[in-house]
Structure 1
Amino acid sequence: MFDHFVVSVVVCPVLVALAVRWLADRLRPEAAVTVLVLSMVTVSAACLVSLGAFAVKAVAEVHRVGVWLGYSDAVVRADTEREPWVSVLSATLLLVAVAGMFRVWRLHRRELTVAREFRGLPVDADRVTMIDDARVEAFAVPGPPGRVVVTTGMRSVLDDQQYSALLAHERAHLDSRHHTLVLYARLAAAVHPVFWGLTRRIDYLVERAADERAAEQLGDRRVVARAIGAAALRASEARLGLSMTPGRRDLRGAGVVPRRVASLLAPRSAARLLMLVAVPVALAAGSVVWTGECVADLGELLYAAGMLH
């Protein structure tokens, strides 16, 4: 079974992480972000199942358990006798991954609690809640019902075209369920450390995807670029602490905003390299198949040991 550990826990996650890192800045964000995130999630889920299988094997290797259940624990141990550490390591990694996922989910629940406070406020026909606040702030609150919260401070620094661009951007987050993609990416990163550095890239990709959706809706990329720049400049001047959504956090990023603006001002690239998304998809599918074989091999091993009759 050791080869399953190597492929599902080491090789596939590393290759998918490299593919995501390379493709993130080379594909149209609105076409790539969902595929890349789901590839990360699939590989992480396969890794989690593989770790679970080896954790079961770790328990089955205990002599007292073998005596209690009436099977040969020596047969179970013999399968990885050259790598006796793999079962205990897998069980440890499984516990760490589950604890990490729990922390991510607990943070997500806290964010939902904050979001509920805004759902009690009035919303207009455009799904906008305007609050009287001098801070320069705007963000999407996922539903139901989804809405865009805008402060009067933010509204005052944008002209009508820029304000329309802002609303289109935030609605794109809602309509594309970007908050869910960000959550999935964080859960994947909690499972495997190779994805830790990719969560910021996914945050950036969902912002770029929303930028492109807004530009397509308005038919003017420069207006969206000016809106991003104006909002970021005023928010930076006010030294806000924005933490609820990727868009709010990115407004503070000294390097992120210029990249977003530059991407919008550059000519719209062709969809070349789009077929390369098949690489992480194929790796994710392969990890699922390999994990299925891992579970099947575990069943055969336990059957041979006499644990399953």
Structure 2
Amino acid sequence: MRIAVYMPLLLTLFAPLGARPLSERCEPRLATWLLTASSLLLSTASMISLGLLAVTGLIRIPLLADLGHWSAHSAQIADPVQLSIALAAGLLLGGAVITAARMLARRARTLAAAAVDAACMPARDGLVVVEDEAPDAYALPGLPGRVVVSTGMLHTLDTSEHDILLAHERAHLTAHHYAFVALAQLGAAANPLLRPLATAVTYTVERWADENAATSTGDRTRVARAVGKAALAAHRTPSRLRTAGAVLGILGHRGPLAAAGPVPRRVAALLAPPLRRHPALAAVTAAVLTAATLATAEAAHDLDLLLRTVGAWQ
């Protein structure tokens, strides 16, 4: 097999370098789509490449070669891929499949739990107010979803800022931000090199919701102030309110991105003019994804030719 089979694997090494520029310079909604698509497509392409490499090792095993009517000896001669590389690819593929399956099952359970929790919560216009002095607010996916807000958060924000809070959280639900986060994390589970893309998605969905709140209220400065106040209050008083199914809130996803200072970046972005779509970054991302797709297709074609060749020598 030729260099095409390695191209998706190489692209996953360099793709994380684009996570920060996309999240910081591109309009949040477009950035979220591009980052999520990149995580999914590149992880899929890399898994297919690993699978193709693993097959070149399997057809060298006489018993398996006989099942496919191939010549194991001919495969050793015709295929330039070293057996050690094929075996390593098989092991990596097995680990990726197991990790992705566990991630998918865990996210499915989390979303199911969120749907049950949302259905059991009495709400008024989709809003649930919980008695808790710790300030917190988050969107709980479900059918329908719920916006859960603590009394501590309501007391932290001015009455005029409550509409910002609700607009932010409702944006998470209406745009299905939890799905973007879950899909990006699924791609990162299959290929850990893509974790920066998934981390960036947890930031861009918050920026997306911030921009929705700014559009609905018409005051970017007031939204920035509300985000800062909520984050500062939550930092002083950690909340125990969130359920297992809660994934998104005005405070942001509490994971690796929190250590990178997402709230100050969000506030700074709100105090600046709205970001544009940045067609150059979108074009580069599209080119990378196209290259990965074409390389995967070419590698699959190379394997087909190899199988035809060793089959003819049987």
Task: Report the equivalent of 1:119.
Answer: 119
Map of 1:148 onto structure 2: 147
Shift of 1:180: 0.9
User: 2: distance between equivalents of 1:66 and 1:82?
Assistant: 16
Query: Are the counterparts in 1 of residues 16 and 196 from structure 2 also a CA contact under 8 Å?
Result: no
Q: Deviations over 1:143-178 (max 9, x none)?
A: 221221112222222222211111111111112211
1:242-281 equivalences in 2 (<5 Å):
244-247=246-249, 248-250=251-253, 253=258, 255-269=261-275, 271=276, 273-281=278-286
Specify the alignment match of 1:35 in structure 2.
34
Superposed CA offset, 1:43-63 (max 9, x none): 211112222222223221212
Tell me by how many angstroms 1:210 deviates.
Answer: 0.9
RMSD, aligned CA: 2.4
Counterpart-to-counterpart distance in 2, 1:90 and 1:73? 19
For 1:237 and 1:307, the matched residues in 2 are separated by: 71
Distance 1:246 1:85 in 2: 44
2:294 is the counterpart of 1:289: yes
How far, CA to CA, are the matches of 1:129 and 1:272 in structure 2? 35
User: Do the aligned partners of 1:20 and 1:280 also contact (CA within 8 Å) in 2?
Assistant: no
State the SS of the aligned residue for 1:85.
Answer: helix
Query: Could you say which residue in structure 1 is the equivalent of 2:18?
Result: 19
Q: Is the 8 A contact 1:155 1:163 kept in 2?
A: yes
Q: 2:247 corresponds to which letter in structure 1?
A: T
Q: Counterparts of 1:154-173 in structure 2 under 5 Å?
A: 154-173=153-172
Instruction: Compute the displacement of 1:181 (Å).
Output: 0.9
SS at match of 2:128: strand
SS in 2 for 1:149: strand
* Number of residue pairs aligned between Structure 1 and Structure 2: 306
Q: Which residue of 2 aligns with 1:6?
A: 6
Contact 1:40 1:284 in 2 (8 A): no
Q: What does 1:73-112 correspond to in 2, within 5 Å? A: 73-81=72-80, 83-112=82-111
Once the two structures are superposed, what CA deviation does each residue of 1:204-232 show, in whole Å capped at 9, x if it has no partner? 11111111111011101122112212211
Instruction: Quote the offset at 1:202 in angstroms.
Output: 1.6
Change beyond 3 A, Cα 1:82–1:128: closer
The CA distance in 2 between the partners of 1:233 and 1:17, in whole Å, is: 30
Q: Which stretch shifts more, 280-289 or 105-114?
A: 105-114
**After alignment, is 259-268 or 69-78 more displaced?**
69-78
What is the CA–CA distance in structure 2 between the aligned matches of 1:205 and 1:111, rounded to whole Å? 21
Identity %: 34
2:118–2:144 CA contact under 8 A, matched in 1: no
CA distance change for structure 1 residues 209 and 256 in 2, over 3 Å: closer, same or farther?
same
**Secondary structure, in 3 states, of the residue corresponding to 1:144?**
coil
Alpha-carbon separation, structure 1, partners of 2:281 and 2:60: 43
**Paired AA for residue 265 in structure 1:** L
CA distance in structure 2 between the partners assigned to 1:235 and 1:273 by the alignment: 34
Residue 308 of structure 1, CA deviation:
11
TM-score by length of 2: 0.88
Alignment of 1:181-200 (within 5 A): 181-200=180-199
Give the AA of the match of 1:211. Answer: D
1:69-108 alpha-carbon deviations (Å, 9 max, x no partner): 4420122233444633221111111111112212322331
Larger mean Cα displacement after TM superposition, 188-197 or 93-102? 188-197
Amino acid at match of 2:265: R
Q: For 1:266 and 1:37, how far apart are their aligned partners in 2?
A: 25
Distance in 2 of aligned mates of 1:92 and 1:79 = 23
Question: What CA distance in whole angstroms lies between the structure 2 residues aligned with 1:82 and 1:160?
Answer: 66
Task: Kindly state the Cα deviation for residue 2 of structure 1 after the two structures are TM-superposed.
Answer: 4.2
Q: 1:42 to 1:272 in 2, by over 3 A?
A: closer
